[in-house]
C-alpha cells in the first residue's frame, strides 16, 4: 500500500468520524465529491494546487473562497489540512477512501455497472436491490456505457466482477471451443 493511500485513509477515517458525530456523513461525501470533481476535473485548479511558487496560505485561501459556500467547515478544514501538509495530490484518494470507510460503517457499497446502453433509473434500482440482497449491503449503482459489450452488462463491486455481457459470454465460448479442439 502506498504512503499516499495510507495517508488518505487516515484523513478519510478522521473526516468520517467528525461527519458522523455531526450527523453529516452523506452530506460530507457529496460535498467532498463535488470539491474533488471540480479540483481534479479542471487543469487550472490542479496546476494552481501543484504550483510550488504559490504559498500554502494562498492556496488554502483560494480553496476556501471558491468552495466556502458549497462545503461544510469539516470538509474545508480537511482539504486545508491536506494542502498545508503538501498532500493536495491526495484529493481523489481521500474521496475514494472516504467512500470505503463510510460504506463499511453504514453497510453500503458502490457498484460500477457497465452496459452497452445507458440504464434507466428503474433498471439501476432493480440492480441495486438484487445485488444488495446478494451481498447483504445497500448498493449504490454508477452506470458506465461501453458499446463494445454488445449487450448485457458487467457489475464490479469492490474486487469482484460479475460478467453477464454478451462479449464476455462470447469470449468464454471461444475459450471452451479452443480447449476442446
Could you give the angle at the alpha carbon of 139 between the alpha carbons of 128 and 19, nearest 5°? 145
User: Do 72 and 29 fall into the same domain?
Assistant: yes
Q: Supply φ then ψ for residue 87, to 5 degrees.
A: -110, 30
Per the listing, cell 494552481 goes with: 48
Domain boundary among 55, 84, 104: 104
Radius of gyration of the chain (CA): 20
Range of the domain at 56: 3-104
Please state the domain count of the chain. 2
At residue 10, the pLDDT reads 92
User: Do 20 and 52 fall into the same domain?
Assistant: yes
Q: What is the mean pLDDT of the chain?
A: 87
Q: Given strand 108-115, what is the order of strands in its sheet?
A: 138-145, 108-115, 153-157, 160-163
User: Do 94 and 136 fall into the same domain?
Assistant: no
Domain boundary among 81, 104, 127: 104
Residue 143 and residue 111 in contact, taking contact as beta carbons nearer than 8 Å: no
At residue 170, the pLDDT reads 86
Q: What is the mean pLDDT of residues 167-177?
A: 86
Better pLDDT: 1 or 42:
42
Q: Which residues of 93-122 are buried (b: 16+ CB within 10 A; e: fewer)?
A: bbbbbbbbbbbeeeeebbbebbbbeebeee
User: Do 30 and 93 fall into the same domain?
Assistant: yes
For the cut 60, the answer to whether the pLDDT of residue 1 exceeds it is: no
Domain boundary among 104, 125, 160: 104
At residue 122, the pLDDT reads 94
Residue 110 and residue 100 in contact, taking contact as beta carbons nearer than 8 Å: no
pLDDT tens string 22-46: 888 888 988 999 888 888 888 888 8
Strand 153-157 versus strand 138-145 pairing type: unpaired
pLDDT tens string 138-166: 898 989 999 888 888 999 988 888 988 88
Task: Give me the CATH number covering residue 96.
Answer: 1.10.520.20
pLDDT tens string 43-94: 888 888 888 888 999 998 988 888 878 888 999 999 999 999 988 888 889 9
pLDDT tens string 96-114: 899 888 888 888 888 899 9
Amino acid at each position: 500500500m502506498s504512503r499516499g493511500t495510507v495517508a488518505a485513509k487516515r484523513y478519510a477515517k478522521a473526516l468520517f468520524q467528525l461527519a458522523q458525530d455531526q450527523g453529516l456523513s452523506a452530506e460530507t461525501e457529496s460535498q467532498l465529491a463535488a470539491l474533488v470533481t471540480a479540483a481534479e476535473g479542471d487543469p487550472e485548479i490542479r496546476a494552481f494546487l501543484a504550483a510550488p511558487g504559490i504559498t500554502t496560505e494562498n492556496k488554502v485561501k483560494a480553496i476556501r473562497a471558491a468552495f466556502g459556500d458549497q462545503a461544510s467547515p469539516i470538509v474545508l478544514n480537511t482539504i486545508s489540512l491536506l494542502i498545508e501538509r503538501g498532500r493536495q495530490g491526495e484529493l481523489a484518494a481521500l474521496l475514494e477512501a472516504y467512500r470505503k470507510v463510510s460504506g463499511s460503517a453504514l453497510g453500503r457499497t458502490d457498484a460500477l455497472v457497465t452496459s452497452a446502453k445507458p440504464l434507466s433509473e428503474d433498471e439501476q434500482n432493480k440492480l441495486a436491490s438484487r445485488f444488495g440482497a446478494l451481498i447483504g449491503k445497500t448498493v449504490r449503482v454508477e452506470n458506465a456505457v461501453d458499446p463494445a459489450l454488445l449487450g448485457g452488462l458487467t457489475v464490479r463491486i469492490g474486487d469482484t466482477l460479475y460478467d453477464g455481457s454478451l462479449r464476455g459470454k462470447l469470449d468464454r465460448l471461444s475459450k471452451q471451443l479452443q480447449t476442446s479442439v
